[in-house]
Amino acid sequence: MTEIPKTKEDWLECVALPDYVAMIPAGCIRPIVGPTIWVDGNGTQYSTEAYIKKWGYDPHIAWEAKKEYRKTLNRH
C-alpha cells in the first residue's frame, strides 16, 4: 500500500504530467537584473538556453502564443 500524500511537495510529486503538457511554459519570471527564468509545467525553472535544451523550442514563442490564445478566451 502506498502512503497518502500529506504535504504540498508530496502531492506535486505524485502528479506526473505527460511531456506534451509539461513542456508548455507555465510561468515567466523577468527579474529586474538578470536573465529571464522560464517555468515548465512541472514547476522546474530554466534559463532560456536550458529550456531549449530540455524541451527543444524557444519558450518565449510558446509564451506569446499562449497569451494570444488566452486573449481569445477573454482570460488575461
What pLDDT is stored for residue 49 in this prediction?
Answer: 97
Task: Write out the residue range of the structural domain in which residue 52 sits.
Answer: 23-72
Q: What is the pLDDT of residue 69?
A: 87
Residues 11, 30: Cα–Cα separation, whole Å: 28
Do residues 24 and 62 make contact, with C-beta atoms less than 8 angstroms apart?
A: yes
Tell me, yes or no, whether 16 lies in a domain: no
Q: What is the mean pLDDT for each group of 10 consecutive residues in the chain (76 residues)?
A: 67 72 92 95 94 96 90 75
* CA-to-CA separations, 12 to 7, 15, 38, 66, 71, in angstroms, rounded: 9, 5, 18, 23, 29
The predicted model scores a pTM of: 0.72
In the chain, how many domains are there? 1
Q: pLDDT tens, 44-65? A: 999 999 999 999 999 999 999 9
The pLDDT value given to residue 1: 47
Q: Say if 11 falls within a structural domain.
A: no
